């Protein structure tokens, strides 16, 4: 896969999820010109200026490929492996996975937090983490599969319910 990022490309920035590179901006600081990607995260109403030379270090990546999507679906179809640790520790672990930008880690979070019966069976913080993971996963998968986020959510929850 080509590691080059271009204007118009959809990318994943670990802390914010899927965004689109809108432009390259050249900013002069102390006599040095720095190039920045301007990335728009429309869902969060957020714009990020990322120095181009910091892309790799920041964890910026392209959308996943179909083989990775198959791995995601495999993870979702497995039985949950809920830990026995305190909720606060598990919640921290889930947030680290969500902010890693790793789609496989998002699938693990969804698998662990999914409860048959939906939102009514989850605590408020479980719902928040679950919906954040689902939003991030659905956005990326919908772009890769050229479908809607709602269709992805329905597909994912169908797989989770069958597990």
Split at pLDDT 50, 70, 90, the class of 115 is confident
The label of the residue with tokens 């009514």 reads: 120
Residues 6+ apart with CB under 8 A from 144: 63, 64, 65, 66, 69
Give the other-Cβ count within 10 Å of 103's Cβ.
22
Query: How far apart, in whole angstroms, are the C-alpha atoms of residue 140 and residue 126?
Result: 22
Q: Which of 3-17, 104-118, 138-152 has the lowest mean pLDDT?
A: 104-118
Contact 23, 29 (CB under 8 A): no
Q: What is the pLDDT of residue 53?
A: 93
- Domains of the chain, by residue range, sit at 10-62, 66-162
User: CB within 8 A of 18, min separation 6: which ones?
Assistant: 10, 11, 12, 41, 43, 63, 136, 139, 140, 143
Average of pLDDT values for 124-144? 95
Q: Quick one: average pLDDT of 23-50? A: 93
| Contact predicate 109/133, CB 8 Å | yes
Q: Which of 58, 68, 139 shows the shortest CA–CA distance to 99?
A: 58
CATH number, span 10-62 = 2.40.10.170
The average pLDDT across 53-74 equals: 95
Share of the chain above pLDDT 70, in %: 94
pLDDT of 159 reads 96
Q: Which residue has the tokens 């959308």?
A: 63
pLDDT higher than threshold 60 for residue 1: no
Pick the CATH number of 66-162 from 3.40.50.2300, 1.20.58.1290, 3.40.50.300, 3.60.15.10: 1.20.58.1290
Question: What confidence category does residue 80 fall into, taking pLDDT thresholds of 50, 70 and 90?
Answer: confident
Q: Are 17 and 10 in contact (CB under 8 A)?
A: no
Question: How high is the pLDDT of residue 118?
Answer: 66
In this prediction, residue 9 carries a pLDDT of 95
């Amino acid at each position: 896969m080509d590691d080059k990022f271009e204007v118009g490309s959809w990318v994943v920035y670990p802390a914010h999820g899927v965004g689109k590179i809108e432009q390259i901006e050249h900013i002069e600081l102390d006599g040095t010109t720095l190039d920045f990607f301007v990335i728009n995260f429309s869902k969060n109403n957020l714009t990020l200026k990322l120095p181009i030379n910091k892309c790799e270090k920041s964890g910026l990546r392209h959308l996943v490929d179909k083989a990775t999507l198959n791995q995601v679906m495999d993870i979702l179809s497995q039985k949950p492996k809920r830990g026995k640790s305190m909720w606060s520790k598990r919640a921290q672990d889930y947030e680290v996975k969500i902010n890693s930008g790793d789609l496989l880690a998002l699938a693990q979070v969804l698998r662990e937090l999914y409860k048959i019966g939906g939102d009514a069976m989850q605590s408020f913080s479980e719902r928040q983490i679950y919906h954040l993971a689902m939003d991030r996963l659905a956005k990326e998968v919908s772009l890769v599969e050229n479908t809607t986020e709602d269709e992805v959510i329905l597909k994912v929850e169908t797989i989770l319910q069958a597990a």
